[in-house]
Structure 1
Amino acid sequence: MKSIVAKALFNSHSYAEYRKLVTDLLSEEKSTGNEQSESLTNYSKLNEARMNRLDKTIKISEETISKLQKLDHQYIWLVISEGWCGDAAQILPIINKMALASDKKIDLRIVLRDENDDLMQQYLTNGGKAIPKLIVICKEAGIVRADWGPRPKGAIDLIANYKKEFGVIDDKIKTDLQLWYLGDKGIAVQDELMQIMENIKYNRL
């Protein structure tokens, strides 16, 4: 497992590099990932606009900033993502702002799911390759301490309840999900990630 994480980190991108990669591919009418289609490219275009907006508007709470800066150790947040993923587009700008606010306690790195299948296989959700997936790594020890994703609990419940009632994931629930993120303003992601960070028991190995 340690070698899989190390390999992924070696091939990882900063947030700025990830954004540029997606933008450059879109200039060629392409998306990230092994599969290429018009719909995936269109999703990527929509997500880029969404991330551009969130990069400007998302706010990290003072409480979260204080907790981030009081972390006792340094961590790497390794996120598995793809440019076409709607949840990633909503969540990555929040994670990036949290890392920037952490006073260098958190180093954010991003890898593409389809280029890192060995890693993705270690973090399946109900047997599926759901993303984004955030992996918390102790920087000093190089050991995975926790993981999170692909959505905050409120969004998970929204999807689960809709699927239970209607049996499908269709355009309506996708729209409802985006509206949920808009209303939440990044608070759930901040709260859940800080809960994880506060629960990590540091252990020198």
Structure 2
Amino acid sequence: MRKSIAKALFNSHSYSEYRKLVSDLLKDDKSTGNEQSAALTNYSHLNETRMNRLEKTLKIPQENAQKLESLKNDYIWLVISEGWCGDAAQLLPVFDKMVAASDGKIEMKIVLRDENEELMNLFLTNKGKAIPKLIVISRETGGGLAHWGPRPKGATDLIANYKKEHGAIDETAKTDLQLWYLHDKGLSSQEEIIWMMLDLDKEEE
């Protein structure tokens, strides 16, 4: 695993580099990833708008910022993403704001799923390549400590229940999911990830 992580980190992007990469591709009507289609490009355009809005409106509550600042060890968040992914568009701005609130305790690096198959295969969800995936790495050892994703529990439950009732995920489910994220304001993800980080920090002492 350490070798796959090291390889991915070598080819990783900062949050601003990732945003620029996706934007530059969209100027040529392309999306990230191996597959190119009008639908994926359309999703990428939608995601640009979502991320721009979230960057302006998203807030990290003071109590969450204090918990992030209280971390005793230093970490890297290695995130697997793609520009067309709706969940990634909702969650990456949350991760970025959390990193900023951590007062230097956390650094985020982003890699594209299709360019990092070896890494992705280590972090499958129900045998699928669901993204985004946040991998927590010890800055001191370079080893992977834990992972989170592709969605917070509330969003995961919403999709699971919809699939149970309707048999498949369609555009209605996707709309319901985006509305869930809109109302949640990134709070569920913050809470789940912060508890994970505090638990890891105790183990690392």
Give the paired residue count: 204
* 1:34 corresponds to: 34
Structure 1 residues 39-54: aligned runs within 5 Å: 39-54=39-54
Q: Which amino acid aligns with 2:120?
A: M
CA distance in 1, matches of 2:204, 2:196: 15
Cα pair 2:73 2:204 within 8 Å, conserved: no
Please state whether the residue corresponding to 1:202 is helix, strand or coil: helix
Q: Detail structure 1 runs of 4+ shifted over 3 Å in the superposition.
A: 201-204
Give the corresponding residue for 2:131: 131
1:1-205 alignment to 2 at 5 Å?
1-200=1-200, 201-203=202-204
SS of equivalent residue, structure 2 residue 125: coil
Deviations 1:16-45 (A, max 9, x none): 000000000000100000000000000000
CA apart distance, 1:199: 1.2
Deviations 1:121-161 (A, max 9, x none): 00000000000000000101111111000000000000000
Deviation of 1:166 (Å): 0.8
Distance in structure 1 (CA, Å) of the matches to 2:160 and 2:204: 36
Identity rate, percent:
66
Q: Deviations over 1:74-109 (max 9, x none)?
A: 000000000000000000000000001110000000
C-alpha separation between the residues in 1 aligned to 2:204 and 2:73?
A: 11
In the alignment, the residues of structure 2 paired with residue 118 and residue 64 of structure 1 have an alpha-carbon distance, to the nearest angstrom, of 33
Aligned residue type for 2:191:
D
- TM-score of the superposition, structure 2-length normalised? 0.98
Deviations 1:40-91 (A, max 9, x none): 0000000001000000000001111000001000000000000000000000
* Cα distance in 1, alignment partners of residues 203 and 177 from structure 2: 35
Unpaired runs of 5+ residues, structure 2, are none
CA distance in 1, matches of 2:182, 2:45: 18
Unaligned 5+ segments in structure 1 are none
Q: Distance in 2 between matches of 1:180 and 1:163?
A: 16
Deviation at 1:203? 4.0
SS at match of 2:203: coil
